Amino acid sequence: MPLSVREIGGQQVPAFRNAAFSAVIQECESLLLGLVGAPTGSRVVFLTASGTAAMEAVVLNLNFPTGQVSVVNGGSFGQRFVDIAQCHGIGVTEILPGSGDLSEVGMFDSLPAVDAVLVNVHETSTGVLYDLTQSASFCRQRDTLHVVDAISMFLTDPLDMTRDAIDALIISSHKGLALAPGLSMVVLSPKAQHRLEANPKTYYAPFSSYLRDGLRGQTPFTPAVGIVLQLQVRLREIMIRGISHELERAKQCASYFRAKCNRWPVRLYSNHMPNAMTALSPTDGRKAWQIVHDLETQFGIYVAANGGALADTVFRVAHMGDQTETHLDNLIQALDTYYAK
Ligand SMILES: *Cc1c(COP(=O)(O)O)cnc(C)c1O
């Protein structure tokens, strides 16, 4: 987390039902719309919730007349979209990206009529960044809603709602934005706003109420005030330096770290890695979760373990937020020591 963001975390949380805080929400909305290439007329819903709640809120708020959606299921976050849809009685046709990517020709050709395609553009469990060209053109041709969870690639990898015909874009505070967890944003294109359920089966998150209150810079229920203030500072800094500076920083960190990886008995797990993180697989029989545990207990360094079937085979190194090569040097040194033992 940048120092400027951490400093706000230590300050008093102000009153928010007033003009001063409304101005903050409105500024955050307009800065966000600019950063994601949102088409004219797009709006932002600010939810006090983690990313999964935003995924669920999107599914509950969009109107699916045929009751059928398609989900790109390439890992645990794709599976989460499948589970959310099924939990609410929506039929799911899964797209299983075989080679790991979505660029394989014809992946969308045999899809039945669906109301939406749901995809986590960076499948964070395996470190695969999808190419959205085909899902975008499918959605354009069939007038289908394109729902994209960009939680773990916003600010580290290029993202453009207009180019990729994205109708509902999901972002959270605690990945590339590197703010405290607890705030999620859903950016809705004009097309998505026209296809909102009139009576969504959610009391807490009916998007139409959020959009209405958002016009005057407010939310129906108490927002994550402190995190919204962190967001304002972060977005302002990004606007001053330019988003390309953010993308370049992540790219530099990723390539700096990956260039060192041949020193240890590990291999890159995916051929379509984002700048956001590096997914590694041990090649010497060591368990991935054991390496994660040892780095924490022996060196005080935190990398991410995987759950379920990948617990033994994959661990992940983030390049999000305010990471620098100095941070990575600490990890590199620790891994050198670890493997020299
Ligand atoms: C982290 C993440 C989420 C959100 O998870 P929460 O724990 O609910 O914040 C959703 N989708 C992707 C792709 C993620 O990486």
User: For residue range 53-100, what is the model confidence (pLDDT) as tens digits?
Assistant: 999 999 999 999 999 999 999 999 999 999 999 999 999 999 999 767
**Who lines ligand 1 at CB under 6 A?**
50-52, 77, 120, 124, 149, 151-152, 172, 175
Give the full edge-to-edge strand order of the sheet including 68-72.
43-48, 183-188, 168-172, 145-149, 116-120, 68-72, 91-95
Token output for 86: 């099924």
Nearest atom (ligand 1) to Cα of 122: 13
Task: Determine contact, residues 281/313, Cβ cutoff 8 Å.
Answer: yes
Amino acid 127: pLDDT:
96
Amino acid 103: pLDDT:
81
Mutating to test ligand 1, I would choose from 58, 129, 149, 227 the residue with most ligand atoms within 8 A of its C-beta, which is: 149
Mutating to test ligand 1, I would choose from 76, 151, 157, 170 the residue with most ligand atoms within 8 A of its C-beta, which is: 151
Residue 213 class from Cβ within 10 Å (0-12 exposed, 13-18 middle, 19+ buried)?
Answer: middle
Mutating to test ligand 1, I would choose from 124, 148, 179 the residue with most ligand atoms within 8 A of its C-beta, which is: 124
- Closest residue by Cα to residue 232 from 50, 4, 1: 4
Task: Determine contact, residues 151/138, Cβ cutoff 8 Å.
Answer: no
Task: Determine contact, residues 276/175, Cβ cutoff 8 Å.
Answer: yes
Amino acid 101: pLDDT:
82
Nearest atom (ligand 1) to Cα of 174: 9
Amino acid 99: pLDDT:
66
Amino acid 20: pLDDT:
98
Whose Cα sits closest to atom 12 in ligand 1? 151
Amino acid 107: pLDDT:
86
Token output for 136: 């975008």
Q: How far is the CA of 225 from the centre of ligand 1 (A)?
A: 21
Amino acid 1: pLDDT:
96
Alpha carbon distances (Å) from 250 to 170, 188, 322, 340: 20, 26, 9, 28
Q: Tokens 């590339």, residue?
A: 176
Token output for 333: 């040194």
Q: What does the pLDDT profile of the chain (341 residues) look like in tens digits?
A: 999 999 999 999 999 999 999 999 999 999 999 999 999 999 999 999 999 999 999 999 999 999 999 999 999 999 999 999 999 999 999 999 976 788 887 888 888 899 999 999 999 999 999 999 999 999 999 999 999 999 999 999 999 999 999 999 999 999 999 999 999 999 999 999 999 999 999 999 999 999 999 999 999 999 999 999 999 999 999 999 999 999 999 999 999 999 999 999 999 999 999 999 999 999 999 999 999 999 999 999 999 999 999 999 999 999 999 999 999 999 999 999 999 98
Task: Determine contact, residues 156/176, Cβ cutoff 8 Å.
Answer: yes
